[in-house]
């Protein structure tokens, strides 16, 4: 796990703390384009609403566009109709995106092209290890790069791995502060194309973010430890990484993240105002309780005026019991 700074290290954050109360949006830096990138594996729940609201408000209060990208490259995990539901939910919650909705599946030829490029630069190798084997030979669950010298064929049922780099992949997160990833744990070759032939999340997300000109990535802290891998991809692709904003994630009574996998309840339109206010409060914003009696447009207007990135708790997890 990345080191969790105990105190706010606001000096290391790009957004300097604002000295006054009230409307803070003008103190926030200018950005170009952000995104919300749900997978269509089910409807949005309170946990994904946090990422949607957080990414929307950071983009909008920093004068940036907010793109919606449906990450539909894992058909076995997709639920029929989930994309339409997600888009309807976003609209019902007043989270209107800029430009067309992007469908990640349309970028598959582009991912293949990038893979071929990485392959021709000898940055990839094939791996035929089973998960069982990796677990048996590794005490920390991380892949010990054992196929890196075997020169296996890329044909057939093999995962394509990207060779690790030399950098130590530390970065300053705009919410979590300085994040350090120990080299011995994170210098791991990771999968860019899966054994089942599907594109891996790490590759797809970075290539799409680069192609769309995304300059800030806002998402849940559960993805914090994907960031060093994504930094490696930015490095081999010769691109500048975005600013990172990892929001606290909502956890349930058992200490697990609210997720589609553990059947978090879908957010419904008739509770939109109440849930929006709760999402703002979860993100440390002092949204007055009376706001929940207003319509979503008024709540979003309030948020656009008063939202402050500095008020987001510098925590990776926050309990949320509905
Ligand atoms: N598609 C990912 C998810 O639903 C999010 C990817 C990202 O924001 O980097 O968890």
C-alpha angle 169-192-194 in degrees, rounded to nearest 5: 140
Rg (CA), the chain: 20
Ligand 1 and 86: CB distance under 6 A: no
Which atom number of ligand 1 is nearest to the Cα of residue 36?
Answer: 8
Pocket-testing residue among 44, 56, 101, 205, ligand 1, by greatest number of atoms within 8 A of Cβ: 205
Q: How far is the CA of 24 from the centre of ligand 1 (A)?
A: 28
Q: Among residues 168, 236, 158, which one has the least CA distance to residue 202?
A: 236
Global confidence as pTM: 0.90
- What is the phi/psi pair of residue 291, to 5°? -60, -25
Residue whose pair of structure tokens reads 């200018």 in the numeric block: 30
First to last CA, the chain: 28
Residues facing residue 103 across a β-bridge: 70
Which pLDDT score, from 0 to 100, does residue 253 have? 84
Pocket-testing residue among 35, 43, 49, 71, ligand 1, by greatest number of atoms within 8 A of Cβ: 71
Q: Among residues 17, 69, 40, which one has the least CA distance to residue 219?
A: 69
Which pLDDT score, from 0 to 100, does residue 149 have? 94
C-alpha distances (whole Å) from 120 to each of 86, 114, 123, 207, 283 are 39, 10, 8, 17, 45
C-alpha distances (whole Å) from 237 to each of 13, 210, 232, 265, 277 are 26, 9, 9, 39, 40
- The set of residues, in sequence order, having a beta carbon less than 8 Å from that of 281 and lying 6+ positions away, is 287
- What is the phi/psi pair of residue 36, to 5°? -120, 130
Which pLDDT score, from 0 to 100, does residue 6 have? 36
Q: How far is the CA of 67 from the centre of ligand 1 (A)?
A: 13
Ligand 1 and 220: CB distance under 6 A: no
Give the three-state DSSP class for 172: strand
Q: How far is the CA of 20 from the centre of ligand 1 (A)?
A: 34
Which pLDDT score, from 0 to 100, does residue 132 have? 85
Q: pLDDT 10s per residue in the chain (322 long)?
A: 343 333 333 344 454 433 222 333 345 799 999 999 999 999 999 999 999 999 999 999 999 999 999 999 999 999 999 999 999 999 999 999 999 999 999 999 999 999 999 999 999 999 999 888 888 887 676 788 899 999 999 999 999 999 987 767 889 999 999 998 876 666 789 999 999 999 999 999 999 999 999 999 999 999 998 999 999 999 999 999 999 999 999 998 888 888 877 778 999 999 999 999 999 999 999 999 999 999 999 999 999 999 999 999 999 999 987 6
CA distance linking residue 269 with residue 256, whole number of Å: 25
- Write out the two tokens for 271: 């509770």
Give the three-state DSSP class for 162: strand
- The set of residues, in sequence order, having a beta carbon less than 8 Å from that of 47 and lying 6+ positions away, is 220, 249, 250, 257, 258, 259, 264, 320
Ligand 1 and 55: CB distance under 6 A: no
Q: How far is the CA of 212 from the centre of ligand 1 (A)?
A: 15
Instruction: Please report the domains of the chain, with CATH numbers, ordered by start residue.
Output: 13-319 (3.40.50.620)
- Write out the two tokens for 265: 């309840």
Burial string for 228-260 (b: 16+ CB within 10 Å, else e) reads bbbbbbeebeeeebbbbbbbbbbbbeeeebbbb
CA nearest ligand 1 atom 6, residue: 37
Residue whose pair of structure tokens reads 């891998």 in the numeric block: 229
Whether the Cβ atoms of residue 180 and residue 2 lie closer than 8 Å to each other? yes
């Amino acid at each position: 796990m990345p080191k969790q700074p105990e105190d706010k290290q606001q000096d290391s954050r790009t957004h300097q703390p604002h000295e006054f109360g009230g409307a803070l949006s003008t103190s926030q830096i200018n950005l170009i384009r952000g995104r919300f990138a749900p997978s269509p594996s089910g409807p949005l729940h309170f946990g994904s609403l946090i990422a949607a609201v957080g990414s929307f408000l950071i983009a909008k209060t920093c004068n940036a566009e907010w793109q919606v990208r449906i990450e539909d490259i894992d058909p076995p995990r997709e639920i029929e109709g989930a994309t339409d539901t997600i888009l309807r939910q976003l609209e019902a919650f007043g989270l209107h995106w800029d430009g067309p909705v992007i469908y990640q599946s349309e970028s598959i030829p582009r991912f293949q092209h990038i893979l071929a490029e990485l392959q021709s630069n000898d940055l990839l190798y094939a791996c035929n290890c089973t998960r069982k084997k990796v677990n048996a030979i590794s005490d920390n669950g991380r892949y010990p790069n054992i196929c890196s010298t075997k020169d296996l064929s890329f044909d057939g049922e093999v995962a394509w791995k990207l060779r690790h780099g030399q950098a130590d992949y530390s970065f300053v997160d705009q919410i979590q502060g300085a994040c350090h990833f120990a080299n011995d744990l994170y210098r791991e070759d990771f999968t860019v194309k899966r054994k089942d032939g599907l594109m891996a999340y790490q590759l797809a997300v970075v290539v799409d973010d680069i192609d769309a000109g995304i300059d800030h990535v806002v998402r849940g802290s559960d993805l914090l430890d994907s960031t060093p891998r994504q930094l490696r991809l930015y490095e081999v692709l010769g691109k500048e990484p975005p600013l990172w904003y990892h929001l606290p994630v909502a956890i349930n009574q058992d200490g697990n993240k609210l997720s589609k996998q553990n059947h978090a309840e879908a957010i419904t339109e008739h509770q939109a105002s109440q849930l929006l206010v709760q999402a703002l409060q979860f993100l440390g914003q002092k949204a007055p309780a009376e706001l929940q009696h207003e319509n979503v447009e008024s709540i979003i207007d309030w948020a656009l005026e008063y939202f402050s990135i500095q008020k987001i708790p510098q925590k990776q997890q926050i309990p949320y019991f509905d």
